[in-house]
């Protein structure tokens, strides 16, 4: 099985140096793209590869690029940004790529930049990823040294400056427009769209934001072609995907597998199945802000459309497993506190609604719950839905809760009736 | 126009608006918080949710925020949809989870937008049973009270303070439900527009701290339409009273002038009306010895006996001095009594010449005075010689809009609607349209300016003349231009020529004829090259323009007339002459007059030397007319009947005239009669009587009440004096009544005593009085533009280009006035809040001059100016050009110094001794 994104990552925990990366065929895609392809051709190739954004929304990367104004009249400077602000609970896929093979991201970013004719590239990195920060900073310096960055890259007259920006550490800054605000030095609050960032993104100029994993795919698509890339997948969406699993499984971790690999295969073959004495109760498939799936869904293909059909979302593709010895209310309380704390405070429903949900969950978990609370939780989940709030944070935050109310209702009721947490 | 369907009924709305704007303009009650008609949409509060449908078949629809959704032709929406209503009520429930529900002890109670919206959405029962978050509050200075626990995080405050008004010392901190709005630490808000937070805030986070000291609910206040007296801009206000005390000033929306905002001098200067130094009874002063005066309080009859003894029958021995802060009617009554040849304007020598000149420039020249709204639409601005942040703050606020005009072009390219505020700001970033500031010292507008030029007044004028020449070949040439000046002039001229609506701003601040002429030349040059240029001159006071129309003679001539004995009695109406001319001249005037009769609100240096002092009504106790800098005549109305013998100056004058057999005023029954007589004598004012609502104006036979229908305690207010409820006083001057009874509907715009509509108790109810939200008041914005009626004549440029700057003698410097929003205006300094913010007097100079004179920061410098031997601490300010020093203008104690003036700067003797 081909694992283009991770197969070269070393097992000793050290990153690939630029020489090592070049020996694996690294930076050949830059040469091909910049020397032999027009920017539009790069966009077309990526579009043909059916690469969909790996940050969770699953938008076609090639299509996203195609909205950037091109040509001599386009506003300047233009920007491309790697969204490396990986902060979704249960998600650690970008970290693996950035720590293990930073040059792969840099190369993907340069090709992406070339495709939209960007003048500046930023890597917007999660604050806590200190190891990634050190390795990316060193790699950027190496890349400048070998003229993969800077003025007149590889004598092609294409110029690109790249900077690493470490975030101040807020979940919301992973939302692309909040990220742009944060990068401008403003408060990390989202913006409404339109206008889309491709037209007015960073400092009022065109900007495109791609997830780090998404960008890591680009060199391989350019090097080996769209057809090869589509062939990697077991579904309509192209390529491989880094799937992960956390919770009471034998071998928690992240693995690069064909897009559309089933949950069962990921859990049983790669994560080593459930730990002794624990059985599976639920799966949050794509980081914390997706709906629960149940054991009946084990044969579900982990791709964008299949997850959607099953009533959840692929999200980041990194599962959190709920077992039978963990209190689902406690789990949701933990998640809801996270989301309530990470609300940017801009819009009312998210700022005020999520803390209320957290308070109610805390009351239920500590035996202070009231019968009406379930009704309040359910209506709040509905009222915090998409379109009601300014961005997708709150709708995502209530996804696990709304499905838990459906699937684990008895557990809530027991908490309230027994006036305590039955797991304690 | 676009047709939209609201709950299945078709409506016509103007193009390019958002649905909230459209719904509110059509009279629908859609609740909102973060949206503001002047600051537009950001979609934060989620309160204005409505449902939109794809087409008439779509019955499911989806919830959108009306403020963020474009009203396009065929849009179908429902305000009344069940899910939309549920969401809006739920949004209030969220806001209420942390709101303290302390309405009974909250100053906002009864005029709280949050209360109104809560009732509107139908949310009644709060299910949230957990602890509320609490904040620490801050001391934000004398004007604004801070109670953060009430905050519903609509972000309007920070959007106004920073984005709209350019303030820096206020911000939003922290995140999630701990978001905090305030300063980085306790301290007085630095922006001169901070008081607007009180009206911007939809609840009681920011409330009026001066009102708090004599608090009254909105429904218990007697209010009347008023006009600000603290500068020449003429902002419209609503003044409120209870128990004989003026309680607060509130913004009175006028789409052409102040729209939604006032400056803090205008909002908080009102407390002079309540000052303990108020004159409330006629006083008789007599000299008992060379050093001692007695002051006796007399009743009206006795005082007229005294006055009659001073004045010959008919009044032939009297001359009169008017005032730029007295109403047109007060000035006119005096003018009528003494006759044009014995009327002295009461302006300082220079203002006396400059103001009529400005009037001629504006009335006859092709460049007209813009309204504040017009200013906001100008896309290139050149300011010569006026620090408008301090002399006309509301005008300065408008320039924050003007500099956005040019950059806004990009939003059209990007298809961003003008009301999508966050997207507009993202698209235009810090881009500013051309604004050029030419003043002697740094101004707060420099932060917005493309470039700032610092020079002595003569050089500023030369720059102006050079710009005019660069704009149009026919303008007079400036000789001996330095290269820097030439380049600068070219640059400014280019920017003005490249604009659609250029604006030139100048004024009387530097009392420099050449500057005023230069400004006119620039505007005229632009007109000649085909631009529709506007020209705004900042007037020093609220009715300076009136004296420009009245003419009259100078104070120097008054001294001569009295010394010639062509008259021996002097009447001074609402004017402290010691602020107009050096003490030597004023002493001559007051000394030469055998009898001095002074009418004023407060004791001052002039009333102290008068034989008879008559208590004159302020704007709150009388009605009258002021003419603003743009030439807009505006009427203010008596708010309440004051204690004591306080009366409008024109009424005092009328009684004096009647008492001495001068029959000119004998037929005046009310203010309308005075205005009519004035229109007959002063041609420019002939249209006034017809265009203000007359005193006999009635709606369905009723007057307009000054008291709200919920006014409480009417029968008990005077119960400690008498149990018989007194008859409300009659107001013969206006269609307003001192009563809660009368016409309860919407009055004509000039007579709006308060903004209120059913379900809308807060100031947001102004929506209900406008043609379209944020537009004109229904029936037209009040005020009568006097200067635009006259025919334009082809200008001939002013030829008087001043020579290049003279080389000063050693140690000689030019002292220029530095204006302070808090301190330079005469009346507002009597308001305690403002008094606390007045700077201590100082002299400021450039490091270079300081070195020549061997001054250090804080050392005491001596300077002799206009008969004042000044001893002032030195401040170093390198924005001043060499050879120019700055002295705060009009500050208590410094008021009579006539600036600019040349003088010798020396180290104070005591300092010199310390040095040796």
For residue A36, with 0-12 CB atoms within 10 Å meaning exposed, 13-18 middle and 19 or more buried, which class applies?
A: exposed
Query: Treating both helix axes as pointing N-terminal to C-terminal, what angle do A393-407 and A328-342 enclose, rounded to 10 degrees?
Result: 170
Query: Per the domain annotation, does A11 fall within a domain?
Result: no
Residues of A in contact with B128 (CB under 8 A): 356, 359
Strand runs labelled E in B730-841: 736-737, 784-785, 812-818
Query: Per the domain annotation, does A137 fall within a domain?
Result: yes
Task: Tell whether A141 and A281 lie within a shared domain.
Answer: no
Q: Which residue of B has its CA nearest to A383?
A: B87
Residue A163 CB coordination number (10 Å): 12
Task: Tell whether A139 and A280 lie within a shared domain.
Answer: no
**Which residues have a Cβ under 8 Å from the Cβ of B366 and sit 6 or more positions away?**
B523, B524, B527, B528, B533, B792, B794, B795
Query: Per the domain annotation, does B15 fall within a domain?
Result: yes
Task: Tell whether A296 and A183 lie within a shared domain.
Answer: no
CA distance A276 to A288: 25
A375 at interface of B, judged by CB pairs closer than 8 A: no
Q: Which residue of B has its CA nearest to A358?
A: B130
**Which residues have a Cβ under 8 Å from the Cβ of B406 and sit 6 or more positions away?**
B379, B380, B431, B432, B433, B434, B499
A346 at interface of B, judged by CB pairs closer than 8 A: yes
Does B786 sit behind a cis peptide bond, omega within 30 degrees of 0 on the bond before it?
no
Tell which of B515, B532, B549 closes a domain: B532
Q: Which residue of A has its CA nearest to B179?
A: A345
Strand runs labelled E in A188-337: 207-211, 240-246, 253-258, 280-284, 318-323
Query: Per the domain annotation, does A424 fall within a domain?
Result: no
Q: What backbone torsions phi and psi does residue B287 show, to the nearest 5 degrees?
A: -80, 125
A345 at interface of B, judged by CB pairs closer than 8 A: yes
Q: Do B97 and A355 touch (CB under 8 A)?
A: yes
Measured over all CA atoms, what is the biggest interatomic distance in chain B, rounded to whole angstroms?
96
Task: Tell whether A155 and A172 lie within a shared domain.
Answer: yes
Q: Which residue of A has its CA nearest to B425?
A: A204
Tell which of B22, B54, B80 closes a domain: B80
A194 at interface of B, judged by CB pairs closer than 8 A: yes
Does A77 sit behind a cis peptide bond, omega within 30 degrees of 0 on the bond before it?
yes
**Beta partners for residue B635, in sequence order:** B625
Tell which of A279, A302, A323 closes a domain: A323
Q: Residue A376: which CATH number?
A: 1.20.1440.230
B134 at interface of A, judged by CB pairs closer than 8 A: no
What pLDDT is stored for residue A258 in this prediction? Answer: 97
What pLDDT is stored for residue B50 in this prediction? Answer: 98
Instruction: Sheet containing B9-13: give its strands across.
Output: B9-13, B2-6, B76-78, B49-53, B62-65
A93 at interface of B, judged by CB pairs closer than 8 A: no
Residues of B in contact with A356 (CB under 8 A): 94, 97, 128, 130
Q: Which residue of A has its CA nearest to B156?
A: A346
How far does B684 lie from chain A, in Å, by closest CA? 50
Q: Residue A170: which CATH number?
A: 3.40.50.11540
Q: What is the pLDDT of residues A269-327, one digit of tens each?
A: 999 999 999 999 999 999 899 999 999 999 999 999 999 999 999 999 999 999 999 99
CA distance to A201, A265, B589, B726, per residue, from A273 (Å): 44, 9, 105, 91
Tell which of A262, A290, A323 closes a domain: A323
Tell which of A300, A323, A346 closes a domain: A323
Three-point CA angle B422, B426, B432, nearest 5°: 110
Q: Which residue of A has its CA nearest to B90?
A: A383
Phi-psi region of A157 (alpha: psi -120 to 50; beta: other; left: phi over 0): left
Worst-scoring range by mean pLDDT, A19-33, A44-58, B278-292, B424-438?
A: B278-292
Q: What backbone torsions phi and psi does residue B596 show, to the nearest 5 degrees?
A: -120, 125
A164-176 exposure pattern, b = at least 16 Cβ within 10 A, e = fewer? bbbbeebbbbbbb
Write out the H or E segment, with its range, that includes residue A338. helix A328-342
Task: Tell whether A213 and A95 lie within a shared domain.
Answer: yes
The tokens describing B513, both together, are 């004829």
The tokens describing B811, both together, are 């140690």
What pLDDT is stored for residue B911 in this prediction? Answer: 64
Task: Tell whether A50 and A156 lie within a shared domain.
Answer: yes
CB B623 within 8 A of CB B637: yes
CA distance to A153, B352, B720, per residue, from A149 (Å): 6, 69, 87
Residue B848 CB coordination number (10 Å): 13
Task: Tell whether A215 and A69 lie within a shared domain.
Answer: yes
What pLDDT is stored for residue B909 in this prediction? Answer: 65
The tokens describing B43, both together, are 């979609």
What is the domain count for chain B?
Answer: 3
User: What is the extent of the structural domain holding A347?
Assistant: 328-418
DSSP single-letter state for residue A33: I
Q: What backbone torsions phi and psi does residue A379 show, to the nearest 5 degrees?
A: -65, -40
- From the list B830, B834, B856, the residue with the least C-alpha distance to B843 is B856
Task: Tell whether A145 and A251 lie within a shared domain.
Answer: no
Task: Tell whether A227 and A308 lie within a shared domain.
Answer: no
Tell which of B41, B58, B80 closes a domain: B80
How far does B423 lie from chain A, in Å, by closest CA? 7
What pLDDT is stored for residue B739 in this prediction? Answer: 95
Cα dihedral: B706, B711, B715, B720 (round 10): -90
Q: Do A191 and B176 touch (CB under 8 A)?
A: no
CA distance B519 to B509: 13
Query: Per the domain annotation, does B396 fall within a domain?
Result: yes
**Which residues have a Cβ under 8 Å from the Cβ of B680 and sit 6 or more positions away?**
B686
Cα dihedral: A47, A53, A54, A57 (round 10): -150
Q: Residue B865: which CATH number?
A: 2.40.40.20
Q: Name the pairing type of β-strands B283-287 and B293-297.
A: antiparallel
How far does A168 lie from chain B, in Å, by closest CA? 12
CA distance B281 to B296: 10
CA distance B218 to A53: 56
What is the domain count for chain A?
Answer: 3
CA distance A171 to B825: 52
CA distance B199 to B108: 10
Query: Per the domain annotation, does A12 fall within a domain?
Result: no
Q: How high is the ipTM of this complex?
A: 0.96
CA distance B689 to B638: 18
What average pLDDT score do residues A99-107 get? 98
Query: Per the domain annotation, does A92 fall within a domain?
Result: yes
C-alpha B485, offset from chain centre: 34
When computed from its CA atoms, the radius of gyration of chain A, rounded to whole angstroms, is 22
- From the list A200, A184, A48, A21, the residue with the least C-alpha distance to A115 is A48
For residue B290, with 0-12 CB atoms within 10 Å meaning exposed, 13-18 middle and 19 or more buried, which class applies?
A: exposed
Task: Tell whether A263 and A333 lie within a shared domain.
Answer: no
Per DSSP, the residues of B37-91 read: TTTBB---S-TTEEEEESSTT--S-EEEEGGGSB--TT-EEESS-HHHHHHHHHH
Q: Residue B443: which CATH number?
A: 3.40.228
- From the list A381, A380, A393, the residue with the least C-alpha distance to A347 is A393
Query: Per the domain annotation, does B336 fall within a domain?
Result: no
A352 at interface of B, judged by CB pairs closer than 8 A: yes
B7-43 exposure pattern, b = at least 16 Cβ within 10 A, e = fewer? eeeebebeeebbbbbbbbbbebbbbbbbbbbebbbbb
Residues of B in contact with A199 (CB under 8 A): 414
When computed from its CA atoms, the radius of gyration of chain B, rounded to whole angstroms, is 29
Per DSSP, the residues of A56-77 read: TT--BHHHHHHTS--STTS-SS
A393 at interface of B, judged by CB pairs closer than 8 A: no
Q: What is the pLDDT of residues A401-424, one digit of tens each?
A: 999 999 999 999 999 999 999 998
Q: Which residue of B64, B176, B427 is in closest CB contact with A200?
A: B427
- Picking from B32, B34, B41, B46 by the largest number of A CB atoms within 10 A of its own CB, the best residue to mutate is B46
Task: Tell whether A118 and A258 lie within a shared domain.
Answer: no
Task: Tell whether A222 and A113 lie within a shared domain.
Answer: yes
Q: What is the pLDDT of residues B268-302, one digit of tens each?
A: 999 999 999 999 999 999 988 877 889 999 999 99
How far does A379 lie from chain B, in Å, by closest CA? 10
Q: Which residue of A194, A349, A363 is in closest CB contact with B94?
A: A349
CA distance to A377, B15, B50, B91, per residue, from B85 (Å): 19, 26, 8, 10
B155 at interface of A, judged by CB pairs closer than 8 A: yes
3-class DSSP assignment, residue B252? coil
Size of interface A-B (CB pairs under 8 A): 107
Q: Do A356 and B415 touch (CB under 8 A)?
A: no
What pLDDT is stored for residue B95 in this prediction? Answer: 97
Query: Per the domain annotation, does B395 fall within a domain?
Result: yes
Query: Per the domain annotation, does A279 fall within a domain?
Result: yes
User: What is the extent of the structural domain holding B470?
Assistant: 368-532
CA distance A187 to B213: 37
Query: Per the domain annotation, does A294 fall within a domain?
Result: yes
A337 at interface of B, judged by CB pairs closer than 8 A: no
What pLDDT is stored for residue A1 in this prediction? Answer: 81
Residues comprising chain A, all counted: 424
Q: Do B95 and A383 touch (CB under 8 A)?
A: no
Q: What is the pLDDT of residues A330-382, one digit of tens each?
A: 999 999 999 999 999 999 999 999 999 999 999 999 999 999 999 999 999 99
3-class DSSP assignment, residue A381? helix
CA distance B835 to B840: 11
The tokens describing B738, both together, are 């001192």
Residues of chain B with pLDDT under 70: 789-791, 806-811, 908-916
Query: Per the domain annotation, does A344 fall within a domain?
Result: yes
Which residue intervals of A101-175 are DSSP H helices? Answer: 102-116, 130-145
Q: Do B423 and A359 touch (CB under 8 A)?
A: no
Query: Per the domain annotation, does B502 fall within a domain?
Result: yes
């Amino acid at each position: 099985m081909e694992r283009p994104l991770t197969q070269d990552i070393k097992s000793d925990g050290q990153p690939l140096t630029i020489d090592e990366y070049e020996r694996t065929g690294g930076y050949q895609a830059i040469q091909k793209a910049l020397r032999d392809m027009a920017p539009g051709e790069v966009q077309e190739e990526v579009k043909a590869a059916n690469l969909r954004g790996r940050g969770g929304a699953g938008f076609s990367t090639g299509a996203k690029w195609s909205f950037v104004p091109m040509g001599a009249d386009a506003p300047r400077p233009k920007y491309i940004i790697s969204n490396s602000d990986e902060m979704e609970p249960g998600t650690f896929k970008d970290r693996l790529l950035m720590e293990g093979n930073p040059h792969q991201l840099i190369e993907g970013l340069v090709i992406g930049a070339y495709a939209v004719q960007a003048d500046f590239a930023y890597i917007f990195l999660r604050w806590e990823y200190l190891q990634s920060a050190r390795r990316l900073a060193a790699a950027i310096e190496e890349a400048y040294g070998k003229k993969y960055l800077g003025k007149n890259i590889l004598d092609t007259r294409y110029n690109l400056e790249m900077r690493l920006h470490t975030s101040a550490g807020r979940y919301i800054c992973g939302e692309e427009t909040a990220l742009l605000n944060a990068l401008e030095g403003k408060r990390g609050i989202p913006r409404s769209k339109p206008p889309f960032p491709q037209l007015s993104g960073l400092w009022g100029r065109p900007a495109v934001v791609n997830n780090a994993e998404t960008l890591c795919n680009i060199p391989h698509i350019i090097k080996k072609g769209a057809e090869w890339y589509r062939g990697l997948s077991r579904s309509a969406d192209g390529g491989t995907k880094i799937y992960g699993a956390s919770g009471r499984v034998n071998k928690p971790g992240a693995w690069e597998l064909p897009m559309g690999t089933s949950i069962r295969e990921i859990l049983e073959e790669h994560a080593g199945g459930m730990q002794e004495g624990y059985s599976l109760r639920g799966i949050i498939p794509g980081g914390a802000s997706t709906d629960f799936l149940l054991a009946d869904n084990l044969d579900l293909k982990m791709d964008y459309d299949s997850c959607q059909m099953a009533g959840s979302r692929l999200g980041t593709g990194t599962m959190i497993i709920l077992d039978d010895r963990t209190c689902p209310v406690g789990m949701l309380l933990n998640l809801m506190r996270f989301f309530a704390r990470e609300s940017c405070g801009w819009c009312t429903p998210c700022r005020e609604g999520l803390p209320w949900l957290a308070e109610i969950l805390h009351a239920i978990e500590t035996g202070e719950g009231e019968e009406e609370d379930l009704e309040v939780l359910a209506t709040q989940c509905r009222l915090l839905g998409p379109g009601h709030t300014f961005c997708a944070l709150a709708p995502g935050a209530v996804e696990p809760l709304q499905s838990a109310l459906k699937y684990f209702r008895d557990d809530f009721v027991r908490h309230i009736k027994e006036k305590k947490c039955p797991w304690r | 126009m676009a047709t939209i369907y609201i709950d299945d009924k078709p409506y016509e709305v103007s193009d390019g608006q958002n649905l909230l704007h459209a719904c509110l303009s059509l009279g629908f009650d859609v609740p909102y918080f973060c949206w503001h008609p002047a600051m537009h949409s950001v979609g934060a509060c989620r309160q204005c949710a409505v449902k939109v449908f794809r087409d008439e078949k779509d019955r499911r629809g989806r919830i959108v925020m009306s403020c963020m959704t474009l009203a396009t032709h065929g849009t179908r929406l429902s305000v009344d949809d069940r899910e939309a209503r549920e969401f809006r009520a739920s949004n209030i429930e969220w806001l209420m989870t942390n709101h303290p529900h302390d309405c009974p002890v909250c100053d906002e109670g009864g005029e709280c937008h949050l209360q109104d919206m809560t009732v509107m959405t139908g949310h009644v029962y709060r299910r949230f049973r957990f602890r509320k978050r609490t904040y620490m509050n801050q001391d934000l200075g004398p004007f604004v009270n801070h109670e953060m626990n009430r905050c519903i995080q609509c972000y309007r405050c920070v959007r106004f303070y920073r984005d709209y008004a350019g303030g820096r010392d206020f911000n939003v901190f922290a995140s999630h439900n701990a978001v905090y709005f305030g300063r980085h630490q306790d301290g007085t808000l630095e922006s001169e527009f901070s008081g607007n937070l009180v009206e911007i805030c939809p609840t009681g986070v920011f409330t009026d701290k001066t009102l708090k000291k004599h608090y009254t609910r909105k429904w218990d206040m007697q209010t009347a339409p008023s006009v600000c007296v603290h500068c020449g801009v003429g902002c419209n206000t609503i003044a409120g009273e209870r128990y004989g005390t003026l309680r607060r000033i509130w913004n009175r929306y006028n789409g052409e002038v102040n729209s939604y905002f006032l400056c803090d001098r205008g909002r908080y200067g009102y407390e002079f009306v309540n000052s303990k130094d108020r004159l409330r009874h006629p006083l008789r002063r007599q000299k008992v010895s060379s050093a001692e005066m007695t002051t006796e309080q007399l009743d009206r009859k006795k005082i007229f006996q005294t006055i009659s003894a001073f004045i010959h029958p008919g009044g032939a021995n009297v001359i009169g001095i008017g005032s730029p802060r007295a109403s047109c009617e007060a000035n006119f009554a005096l003018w009528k009594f003494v006759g044009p040849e014995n009327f002295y304007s009461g302006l300082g020598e220079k203002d006396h010449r400059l103001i009529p000149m400005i009037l001629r420039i504006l009335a006859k020249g092709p460049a007209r005075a813009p309204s504040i709204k017009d200013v906001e639409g100008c896309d290139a601005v050149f300011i010569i010689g006026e620090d408008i942040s301090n002399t006309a703050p509301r005008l300065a606020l408008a320039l924050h809009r003007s500099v956005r005009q040019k950059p806004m072009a990009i939003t059209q390219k990007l298809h961003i609607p003008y009301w999508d505020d966050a997207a507009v700001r993202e698209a235009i970033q810090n881009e500013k349209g051309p604004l050029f500031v030419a003043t002697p010292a740094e101004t707060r507008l420099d932060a917005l300016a493309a470039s700032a030029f610092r020079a002595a007044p003569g050089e500023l004028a030369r720059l102006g003349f050079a710009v005019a020449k660069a704009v149009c070949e026919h303008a007079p040439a400036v000789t001996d231009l330095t290269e820097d000046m030439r380049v600068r002039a070219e640059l400014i001229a280019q920017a003005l020529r490249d604009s659609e609506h250029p604006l030139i701003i100048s004024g009387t601040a530097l009392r420099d004829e050449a500057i005023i002429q230069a400004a006119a030349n620039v505007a005229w040059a632009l007109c000649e090259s085909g631009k529709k240029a506007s020209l705004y001159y900042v007037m020093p006071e609220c009715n300076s323009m009136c004296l420009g129309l009245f003419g009259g003679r100078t104070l120097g001539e008054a001294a001569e007339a009295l010394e010639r004995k062509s008259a021996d009695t002097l009447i001074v109406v609402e004017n402290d002459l010691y602020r107009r001319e050096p003490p030597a001249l004023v002493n001559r005037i007051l000394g030469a007059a055998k009898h001095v009769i002074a009418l004023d609100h407060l004791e001052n240096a002039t009333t102290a030397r008068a034989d008879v002092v008559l208590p004159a009504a302020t704007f709150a106790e009388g009605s009258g007319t002021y003419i603003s800098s743009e030439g807009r005549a505006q009427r203010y109305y008596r708010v309440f009947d004051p204690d004591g013998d306080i009366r409008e100056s024109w009424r005092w004058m009328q009684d004096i005239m009647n008492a001495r057999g001068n029959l000119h005023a004998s037929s005046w029954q009310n203010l309308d009669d005075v205005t009519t007589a004035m229109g007959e004598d002063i041609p420019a004012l002939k249209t006034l009587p017809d265009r203000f609502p007359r005193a006999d104006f009635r709606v369905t036979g009723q007057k307009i009440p000054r008291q709200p229908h919920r006014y409480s305690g009417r029968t008990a207010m005077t119960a400690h004096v008498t149990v018989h409820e007194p008859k409300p006083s009659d107001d013969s001057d206006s269609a307003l009544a001192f009563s809660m009874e009368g016409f309860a509907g919407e009055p004509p715009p000039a007579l709006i005593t308060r903004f209120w509509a059913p379900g809308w108790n807060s100031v947001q109810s102004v929506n209900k009085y406008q043609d379209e939200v944020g537009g004109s008041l229904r029936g037209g914005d009040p005020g009568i533009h006097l200067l635009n009626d006259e025919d334009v004549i082809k200008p001939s440029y002013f030829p008087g280009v001043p020579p290049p700057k003279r080389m000063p003698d050693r140690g000689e410097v030019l002292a220029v006035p530095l204006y302070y929003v808090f301190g330079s205006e005469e009346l507002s300094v009597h308001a305690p809040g403002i008094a606390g913010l007045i700077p201590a007097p100082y002299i400021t100079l450039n490091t270079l001059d300081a070195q020549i004179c061997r001054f250090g920061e804080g050392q005491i410098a001596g300077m002799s100016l206009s008969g004042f031997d000044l001893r002032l601490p030195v401040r170093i300010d390198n924005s001043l050009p060499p050879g120019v020093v700055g002295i705060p203008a009009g500050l208590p104690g410094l008021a009579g110094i006539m600036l600019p003036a040349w003088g010798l700067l020396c180290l104070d003797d005591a300092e010199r001794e310390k040095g040796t």
